[in-house]
Amino acid sequence: MLPRCLFCRYTFCSVYHADVLDRDGPIPVYKQIAGMIRERILKGHLEPGEAVPSESELEVEYGIARATARRVARELREQGLAYTVQGEGTFVGEPGTPRPADRIPVYQQIAADISRRIRQGELLPNRSIPSEKKLMQQHGVAKATVRQAVDHLREQGWVFTVAYRGTYVTDPEKWPQESTSSPAPDA
């Protein structure tokens, strides 16, 4: 008798069923998860240019390690289903596939959050901003993404870094000036 899938009853089912991981079977967990995401892509639940679940989202959703989550992204890239942009994420399609225009890169979102906290007085001048490790945990991102966010803040003038000490909020007079008035519309 041929083995049957326990969920859909097809013989030799090659589809991994959502929310079901066989952690003790012969197929590596990362391949099972990549298969689930592949099915979402093929069914149109994830469209070209749309973000694939992030490493941190995969960790939480499937209870896996970060290294396993990275292997999922690599597997999807090797299958030609996705591509990765450092600091932004992994996206459905081939490199260069247009993405939604309203998507702000993750590192810019983190930088915007920190600059908001500076403006609101939550992070004070000449005091350190949260550590890389803390920012990684708060935002569920890799160290490279946090470093990109801090570089962005430094370029804008929100923070400065002291080697072997940390990154600190600059004095308010050095902060970027926000536009307080907008051009009047043509009448």
pLDDT tens digit string along 83-107? 998 777 899 999 888 877 556 788 9
Largest CA distance in the chain: 80
Percent of the chain clearing pLDDT 90 (strictly above): 56
Tokens 């597997």 map to which residue?
A: 75
The class of domain 106-174 in CATH terms is mainly alpha
pLDDT tens digits, one per residue of 70-81 = 999 999 999 999
- Same topology for domains 29-92 and 106-174, yes or no? yes
In the chain, domain spans: 29-92, 106-174
16 pLDDT more than 70: no
Phi and psi (nearest 5°) for 180? -90, -15
Please tell me whether residue 70 adopts helix, strand or coil conformation.
helix
Question: What is the pLDDT averaged over residues 136-140?
Answer: 88
Local confidence band at 178 (pLDDT 50, 70, 90 cut-offs): low
The class of domain 29-92 in CATH terms is mainly alpha
